[in-house]
Amino acid sequence: MSALAEKIDAAIEKKQTIKVRAYALLPETEKDLNLIILRLLNKYNKLDLTTTLYTCIKELAVNGAKANIKRILFDEVRIDLESEADYRRGLEVFREKLTDRFINEYAQKAKDRGLYVDIKFEYDDTQLSVEVVNNSALTKREDERIREKFRDGLKYENIGELYMEMQDNQEGAGMGIALILMMLKSENIDPHYFTVYSDYTNKTVAKITFPMSPHFRDGRAEFEQ
């Protein structure tokens, strides 16, 4: 057993939150995340959820890292976030530069600026919650666009429909959100257990709660009552 696996198992035994901080989703980080997911799912005897958890977390972490990198680039090329035309111009520049070399270079810039992505695993006997937090806040326009992606994604039953009909995919986030929603549906997990929110000032949080027991109770439903 590797030293990291032993450390993860010790944290699970003590029911401690497990956190990974990243500046870009590099291969070594992906490897560590996969090991954390395997050890946690082994606790619940639900290794069949490995692909779903890994894909969802990777999508969110990549989007979080890209959001931080995009902010740095937008500052450099002086994009006005409140101007729709300027924002679209920034996205064009971002897409043109999006290579592995660019990601590695700007991941270091993100680290230098204190911009990060935290992937946090919290769990008990009935649920596993994953939060992906990046310390770049959404603009209200970006938040509105994400809400649209949620509404669109809930309409689709399979990935083929999504690729055929979804037109507005400016940043890749729309496809990622819809993919996560469909993967949750495929596991009979309520897609409303996936949320994204921002304080518009310091951070953006994406959270997915995975029920792990028939005894799982939906806190949202209790609150609504």
Question: Taking residues 194-213, what's their average pLDDT?
Answer: 94
Q: What is the pLDDT of residues 56-112, one digit of tens each?
A: 999 999 999 999 999 999 999 999 888 889 988 999 999 899 888 999 999 999 999
Q: What is the pLDDT of residues 26-67, one digit of tens each?
A: 889 999 999 999 999 999 999 999 999 999 999 999 999 999
SS3 content of the chain, % helix, strand, coil (to 5): 60, 15, 25
Q: 127 — phi, psi (to 5°)?
A: -155, 155
Residues 6 or more apart from 92 whose CB is under 8 A from it? none
Residue 155 tokens read as: 């309409």
Q: Report the predicted TM-score, pTM, of the whole model to 2 decimal places.
A: 0.87
Which ranges in 20-158 belong to alpha helices (H)? 27-44, 50-76, 84-97, 100-113, 140-155
Question: Are residues 130 and 212 in contact, defined by beta-carbon separation less than 8 angstroms?
Answer: no
**Structure confidence at residue 220 (pLDDT):** 55
* CA separation for the pair 16, 119 (Å, rounded): 14
Q: What is the pLDDT of residues 99-145, one digit of tens each?
A: 889 999 999 999 999 999 999 999 999 999 999 999 988 888 889 88
**Structure confidence at residue 215 (pLDDT):** 87
Residues 6 or more apart from 40 whose CB is under 8 A from it? 8, 12, 18, 121, 123, 128
* CA separation for the pair 71, 17 (Å, rounded): 29
* CA separation for the pair 58, 42 (Å, rounded): 19
